A and B are shown apart, each in its own frame.
Chain A
């Protein structure tokens, strides 16, 4: 099983601040996918295949990485970006998720 480790667990960012979330895999994966989950709602696909933005995702978001190290970056934090972000690998079974990074507004 591929274990995904996200860091930090929790962080706070001010409006306009650049934010970077990381996800490390215990073994190499082909791609990383990211989901946004706001409190009390279902997860939403946010970035797929490492760097492709899902429909409706603002272009201040970007994704990068390869092998075992991946990241999600917000170029300029906005209020609506406060949420928990999960990474997920779909390269092999069992599909696994990271434990999530809770991003709060400072």
Chain B
């Protein structure tokens, strides 16, 4: 089983719909992150959480919200999806300090 699991892997939906992307991890890491990837732009941080009671906005949080239900679970919601939120979304986890981040397999989201 993967250490960082994202569901769904692919999703096509319509403008205005509410969507939730889920991420769960078995690594026991406190820190979790949501990124989106657009062609030519690298990974951009949407939200991050350093522990269950800590939620922080990243550089592109507008239009998104998150919930850290437990140490192992971090969900990303699009309250009212719009076409420019079509992208590849990654969840990642990390331990403290200088440890690398561990990524899920990504969710490809298309909003029509």
A, B bound? no
